[in-house]
Amino acid sequence: MRTQVVIVGGGPSGLLLSQLLHLKGIDNVVLERRTRDYVLGRIRAGVLETGMVDLMREAQVAKRMDTEGFTHSGTVIAFGGGQFRIDFVEHTGRPVMVYGQTELTRDLYDARAALGGKVIHRAMGVCLHQVDTDAPYVTYMLGDTEHRIECDFIAGCDGFHGISRQTIPDSVRRDYEKLYPSGWMGLLSETPPVHEELVYSDSPRGFALCSMRNENLSRYYVQCLLSDTVEDWSDERFWAELKKRIPQEFAAKLVTGPSIEKSIAPLRSFVTEPMRWGQLFLAGDAAHIVPPTGAKGLNTAASDLQYLYHALLRYYQDQDPSGLDGYSAKALARVWKAERFSWEMTHLLHRFPTQTAFDLRMQQADLGFLAENVAAQKVFAQNYVGLPY
């Protein structure tokens, strides 16, 4: 088989890039190791920056998002027994969109199927060959049969554990990582949200977040130990702990119910450089991971896709490789800013074992400054709704 771009990874990043390229007449094939049902079974965040929303509209897959998504013009931050609100629209002129990543991925799958997109599931043993030459190709197994796809370029959208980043030699690649001593215990329930906007809560017992997917589907998180397992957290324990970590006015009206999904996500900051080697371009979690505190995971992938998509357009439409040549530096410049915000917000709201009494006082001073200072709130809002591409 021959195509122009092989996209490794059939999650939202790979599918969105595939859709965008297809609409511009650039032939591509998506390789995904898992089944469609497995990919759709992943429960992920649902806060979308304006840039991601615009990309979905450009990809012609925004109809359901625009109908069912929730536009949020601000967020609530609670600490020290009180709370304050940061108004995104007031400070930036832009809101964010709350729309579950599972639904977004479903929309992308449906769009690719409607256009006859080439998405190959159960592609096992994917291997990238001759990536540092002008004739790269990809091999994979379907059952007992090996297949080969020759291409111009490879987009690595296969996540942190995928083959794409590992293909870049250690002599070329440099990884930067910070591991945090905590995770997030997340619970999804068919209950109405406790508040119309997200509530981030700092508590002496640890961080908590109240989020939602729709009017009767809520997603809640509490900071937990890395050694914890899902089995350690019964529904009863989760709800009781959440109520202790959020303001009393929210705890009093919290509607609880049976969980329909529970999982623990470790907190990690990670960046690999460069994001290009030869004809291979990394995007999304294949190149960088952020703690979920700042809602930057999928949104940072979206900025990668924006740069890569337009670089490929320039190459195929104008025979201009400059966008591809500058992709890694341009993407990383924005990635590190998102990493900084996620790192800062994580330290602002979490309690860690290594914190001294002085550290805790500084944390409360930072929160107090943010609550009172308009300029600080504007900077926060600018980062949260998304820095410009």
Q: Which of 22, 91, 296, 330 is catalytic?
A: 296
Q: Which of 200, 220, 315, 316 is catalytic?
A: 200
292 is a catalytic site residue: yes
- Asked whether the beta carbons of 294 and 341 are under 8 A apart, the reply is yes
Tell me which amino acid residue 369 is: F
Q: Using DSSP bridges, classify how beta strands 280-282 and 153-156 pair: parallel, antiparallel or unpaired.
A: parallel
Tell me which amino acid residue 241 is: E
Q: Which of 22, 72, 118, 330 is catalytic?
A: 72
C-alpha span between 345 and 233 (Å, rounded): 25
Q: Which of 211, 195, 190, 185 is nearest to 257 (CA)?
A: 190
Q: Which of 292, 309, 315, 316 is catalytic?
A: 292
Structure tokens at 241: 């702990």
296 is a catalytic site residue: yes
Tell the residue number behind the tokens 């296969």, with chain if given: 158
- Asked whether the beta carbons of 267 and 346 are under 8 A apart, the reply is yes
200 is a catalytic site residue: yes
Q: Which residues are catalytic?
A: 72, 200, 292, 296, 384
